[in-house]
Amino acid sequence: MPLAQFADPWQKIPVRKTKTEIIDDSIGDDDGGPATSDEGSVKEINITNVVKEGSEKADPRQFELRKVLGQGSFGKVFLVKKLTGPDAGQLYAMKVLKKATLKVRDRVRTKMERDILVEVNHPFIVRLHYAFQTEGKLYLILDFLRGGDLFTRLSKEVMFTEQDVMFYLAELALALDHLHQLGIIYRDLKPENILLDEDGHIKLTDFGLSKESIDHENKAYSFCGTVEYMAPEVVNRRGHTHSADWWSYGVLMFEMLTGSLPFQGRDRKETMTMILKAKLGMPQSISQEAQSLLRCLFKRNPANRLGAGPDGVEEIKRHPYFGTIDWNKLFRKEIQPPFKPATGRPDDTVYFDPEFTAKTPRDSPGIPPSANAHQLFRGFSFVAISSEEEIQPVLSHGHISLRDALQFSDVYEMKEDIGVGSYSICKRCVQKSTGMEHAVKIIDKSKRDPAEEVEILLRYGQHPNIITLKDTYDDGKSVYLVTELLKGGELLDKILRQKFFSEREASAVLHTITRTVEYLHAQGVVHRDLKPSNILYVDESGNPESIRICDFGFAKQLRAENGLLMTPCYTANFVAPEDLVSKMLHVDPHRRLTAAQVLRHPWIVHKDQLPKFQLNRQDAPHLVKGAMEATYSALNRHVPPVLDPVGCSTLAQRRGMKKLTSTAL
C-alpha cells in the first residue's frame, strides 16, 4: 500500500537539557487538543542509523511463536524462538505493538523505550536484541526472563526476608544508577517491572515512561507512573529529577518487607493526598537498619533524600543496611541470589500468568494506519552487536518443537512406584540419554501449590544431608520434581533390618539429623513433617553421613520475627517424636530443646564414648511401625484448619490479583 506524502516529518526527538519537554500533561485518557491536531497530519518518528553494518535485519518470519506471555490494549508479548542466523534456536520475548492503536504519547514512549534500550548495557537491565517493523506493527525482541516478575512472588505471598530484599535492592540500585548516569529517570519502578532471570538475578524492564536528557540541575514535569509509587514532587508537578526514583525505590522496599504499600487510600485522590501529607507508619518488625534506610528514602524534600546528593548512589551503598554487600562481586554476579526459579525446560513459563500462557500464540496481521493518522517509524530497525560468546542457541531436535522435545516423558522413562501420598506420587525414573536412575515426585497442582517446596529445595538443596533437586517439569496439571534416587531406604526400615544397632550408632544418626534441622532452622525453614519415612539413606552402607531429609511438601520459610509460623500447617501425621528425651518433648515449646541445644547435649557431643552393645529392639518390624503410626495418628486428631481461597488473602484483596497499571495524566 502506498504511503501518504508528507512535508515535514518528525525529526529524532532532540536530546535537550531543558525543563519543557513533557511526554503528556493532559488530564484523562485521551491526548487532548494537541493530540487531535497531531493525528490530522502524517508524522514520522525518525531514529538515526544504529544497525551494525553487514548485520542481518530481522523480520517476523525469523521468529517462531511459542507462547503468549502478556497482553494489553496495544499489543502482546510472545515467547519466540529464533529460526535463522547465528542465534538460531535462541529464545526471546517479542513485544508487538499495533501502530494504529497507539496514541501520540504512546508512539513517543515506544520510541523512547527503544532508544533507551539501545543505549543501555548493564547486567541488571533487560537487553534489546532486535527492533523492526511492518506496515502495521512494531517489534521489540528482548531477553526472555524465565523467572517472571517480583509481583508474581508478592502476589503469592511468599514473603521476603530482609536478606532477600537486601539482595534485590542492591542489584536494583546498580541498575538505577546506570540509568541516572546516562541522564535517564526511570519513573515507573514497581514489582511488575522487575524480572528475574534463570539464576534469580533481577532485570529492570519497561522503559515506556522513562525520561531521557535529564541532569541534576534540570527537571521533568510529566505526571506519569503508577500512583502508589509516585514521589511527592511527581504528584504535585513541581518538577522532578533522578531523586524521584529513590522515593519509588523506598516504596518498593517497604512493599517487599511488609506486603503492603506505605501510602494507599481508597481512591487515587486519597492516595496522592497521603503521599503528600500522611505520616509514614514504620513497621517495628523490621530491623533498625531497614527502618533507617526507609526514613532516608521517604524524604518529601527531594534534595534531602538519600541518593539525591552529589555522591548519588554511593550514599545508598554506604548505608548500614547494605553493610554486608560486596558491591564488586554483586556487579559481577558472583553473589548467589536468594531464589532461583525452578525451570526445567528453556521455555518454561511457570512464573507467568496462566491467563496468557494458556492462549494460542497468534500474531494477527496488523491493520495499517489510516493516511491521516499514519506513523512511519523510520530507522526503527536495530540489531544488537553481539559477540559469539554471548549467543547461546538452544539446540533443535529435528522437526520436533522445543516444548515437545523436552516433555518429561521424552527425557525420562517412568518406572515403578516408590511411594504414594495424598497430593503426590513418587516413582523411579531413568534418564534416557545417560541411563542414570532418579526419583520423580509428581505433584497434583489442583491439590497443592509446589512453589514453596521447589524454592526451598533450590535454596538449600546444596546441603549434604538434604535431598538434591535435579530438574523440574510442568505439564499444566502436574509438576515433576526430579531428585536423586535414595536406594538405602527409610531410616526406620534400616534400623529394623539391621541385626546389630548400638547406642553409638543411634547418637551418630541423631547428630546428622539434628545438624541438618539446625541448618534449616538457621535459614528460617521449618520442615513440619519430619518422620522416619522422610529420612532416607542414599545407599545401603548405613553411614550416617549418607542420610538425606526429603519431602518438603509441608515445609515453610518463617518470616515473623518471633519465629512462629505465619500460616497453619495443612496436616501432619508425624510431629516431634513423643518417645524421645523428655526435654525434647516438653509441652511448652519455649522450654523444648532447640536443635542447637540438642547438638550440645552430652549424648551427642560424646557419642564416641557411648557403648557399642546392641540395643533392645522389637523383632516384629510391622508391630513397631504400626505402633508408631497409631501413636502419631492419635496425637493429630485435631480438625485441620479450613483454608480460604488465595483471593481472601490481604495481598490478593489489596491488589485484586491484578497488576497495578501505569498512569500518565
Query: Does the annotation place 75 within a ligand binding site?
Result: yes
Q: Catalytic: 444?
A: no
Query: Does the annotation place 200 within a ligand binding site?
Result: no
* Whether 244 contacts 232, CB under 8 Å: no
Number of C-beta neighbours around residue 63 at 10 A: 21
Query: Does the annotation place 265 within a ligand binding site?
Result: no
**Helical packing angle, 243-258 and 288-297, nearest 10°:** 150
Q: Which of 236, 240, 229, 223 is nearest to 194 (CA)?
A: 229
Query: Does the annotation place 292 within a ligand binding site?
Result: no
Query: Does the annotation place 379 within a ligand binding site?
Result: no
Query: Does the annotation place 40 within a ligand binding site?
Result: no
Query: Does the annotation place 307 within a ligand binding site?
Result: no
Helix runs in 321-360, H state only: 327-331, 354-357
Query: Does the annotation place 15 within a ligand binding site?
Result: no
Q: Which of 67, 70, 61 is nearest to 97 (CA)?
A: 70
C-alpha cell recorded at residue 579: 518417645
Which one from 188, 347, 474, 551 is the annotated catalytic residue?
Answer: 188
Query: Does the annotation place 407 within a ligand binding site?
Result: no
Query: Does the annotation place 234 within a ligand binding site?
Result: no
Query: Does the annotation place 73 within a ligand binding site?
Result: yes
Query: Does the annotation place 478 within a ligand binding site?
Result: no
Query: Does the annotation place 419 within a ligand binding site?
Result: yes
* 500 φ/ψ angles, rounded to the nearest 5 degrees: -130, 120
Query: Does the annotation place 429 within a ligand binding site?
Result: no
Query: Does the annotation place 250 within a ligand binding site?
Result: no
Distance CA 451, CA 49 (A): 46
**Helical packing angle, 104-119 and 32-39, nearest 10°:** 90
Query: Does the annotation place 420 within a ligand binding site?
Result: yes
Distance CA 502, CA 615 (A): 6
- The one-letter amino acid at 146: R
Query: Does the annotation place 626 within a ligand binding site?
Result: no
Query: Does the annotation place 71 within a ligand binding site?
Result: yes
Which one from 164, 348, 529, 551 is the annotated catalytic residue?
Answer: 529
Distances from the Cα of 3 to the Cαs of 33, 222, 335, 367, 369, in angstroms?
A: 25, 33, 53, 14, 10
* Whether 359 contacts 68, CB under 8 Å: yes
Query: Does the annotation place 476 within a ligand binding site?
Result: no
Distance CA 467, CA 527 (A): 13
Q: Catalytic: 188?
A: yes
For Cα atoms 288, 294, 297, give the angle at the middle one, nearest 5 degrees: 145
Distances from the Cα of 419 to the Cαs of 254, 439, 442, 453, 489, in angstroms?
A: 43, 10, 11, 18, 11
Known binding-site positions for ATP: 69-77, 95, 418-426, 441
Known binding-site positions: 69-77, 95, 418-426, 441
**Looking at the annotation, which residues are catalytic?**
188, 529
